[in-house]
Structure 1
Amino acid sequence: MVLLATPALAELERSGPASATFSGKGPAGFKLEGKTEEVTLKDDGKTVVISVPLASLKTGIDLRDRHMREKYLEVEKFPHAVLEVLWSAIQLPEDGKTTTQTVPGKMTLHGKTKDVSVTYTVKRTGDAYEASGKLPLNLKDFDIVIPNYLGVTVKPDIETLTSFQFKKK
């Protein structure tokens, strides 16, 4: 999900499919998952910015999606989840290799920006890269009301996963 601090890598572009997913748990084995294929990658030479439009997240149940967007995420006020990671923290592998690392970043969600740790893996083949990253979040840290429906409450700890392909411009 992230990338290496050199001026030669200052301009990246998404080059293939992308996805962002989240999963949460509740009582008695309840599991909630959501996904979108709308992921934006931006790079200003100093910071890599990954943005996910929250209105595009889908859980497979329309009513639950509407509640998630309107009541919990409030996407009208807070339309995106945004992760920023400094290039100086990122390492890209050599051709044919894979790198896994945990780096600091800043996550903005629901109008709050928090320091986070992101674990990413990048595989390089020629000038093509496949990246994925995991980021655990606690909804309480972002002042998001904990989802509760018909007596089932989702735990506040959410696991997120983002993956995409990119190349140098």
Structure 2
Amino acid sequence: MSNVRKFLPNCLVALSVLSTAALADWKVDSEQSKVFFISTKNLNISEIHSFSRIDGQLSSDGQFSADISLSSVETGIDIRNQRMRDMLFKVDLFPKANISATLPKGIMSLAKGESMHTELPATLTLMGASKALNLDLIVSKTNDGKYMVSSAKPVLLGASELGLQDGVEALQKIAGLTSIGLTVPVTFNLVLN
């Protein structure tokens, strides 16, 4: 009986530590999170597009990683969505883009209701190519303990740096356009539960 008395409290302490560790991680809420990008065709016609499926997590030590499902691209036109999936992103070979970063301790220690403006390095991996980015962010911790991470200014991505130039040219040709811009501004709004 004395062994049981010793075992039970130790077991409860271990379970408590494990449950606290499990609760210390935040997951991207895909339904409330979006990544937006703007494309420009024929020199002066700009359109806003988005990705709607984002899976990711933030650990209590600030390690962040998110996968963006490239098949979730939404342009408002079904045939253009399909062409982007097949010709630009080649989702059969490269279904996801990944972004990773380490958030500073100040963000991880935000109190509920506080916000912070920060710049931090990140790495984007897309179609087998990696690019170092400098993200300008507004990070808030809501009153219910969620994190909200939004771009304070757009990130400019060049198609040629990420292996997308051939896909852009193929889209331009099939759509009969005079041009499609090779630099794309990207913004995002992520909610982490």
Band of TM-score, shorter chain: 0.7 to 0.9
Q: Which has the higher helix share?
A: 2
Q: CA deviation at 1:132?
A: 1.4
> Alignment identity in percent?
17
Corresponding residue of 2:5 = none
Higher mean C-alpha displacement, 15-24 vs 107-116: 15-24
- Of 136, 147, 150 in structure 2, the residue corresponding to residue 129 of structure 1 is 147
Matched, 1:51 2:89: no
Matched, 1:13 2:32: no
1:29-48 to structure 2, matched below 5 A, reads 29-43=44-58, 45=61, 47-48=63-64
- Of 179, 182, 186 in structure 2, the residue corresponding to residue 156 of structure 1 is 182
Q: CA deviation at 1:28?
A: 4.3
Flag the structure with more relative contact order, 1 or 2, with Cα contacts below 8 A and sequence separation at least 6.
Answer: 1
Question: Could you tell me the TM-score, scaled by structure 2's length?
Answer: 0.73
1:69-148 to structure 2, matched below 5 A, reads 69-88=85-104, 91-92=107-108, 93-126=110-143, 127-133=145-151, 134-144=154-164, 145=166, 146=168, 147-148=171-172
1:155 and 1:87 map into 2 onto residues whose CA distance is 32
Q: CA deviation at 1:11?
A: 1.4
Corresponding residue of 2:37 = 22
Q: CA deviation at 1:136?
A: 2.0
Is the contact between residue 50 and residue 83 of structure 1 (CA under 8 Å) also seen in structure 2? yes
Higher mean C-alpha displacement, 36-45 vs 141-150: 36-45
1:31 and 1:19 map into 2 onto residues whose CA distance is 19
5+ long unaligned stretches in structure 2? 1-20
Is the contact between residue 90 and residue 103 of structure 1 (CA under 8 Å) also seen in structure 2? no
Q: Which has the higher strand share?
A: 1
Question: Could you tell me the TM-score, scaled by structure 1's length?
Answer: 0.82
- Structure label with greater radius of gyration: 2
1:129 and 1:120 map into 2 onto residues whose CA distance is 12
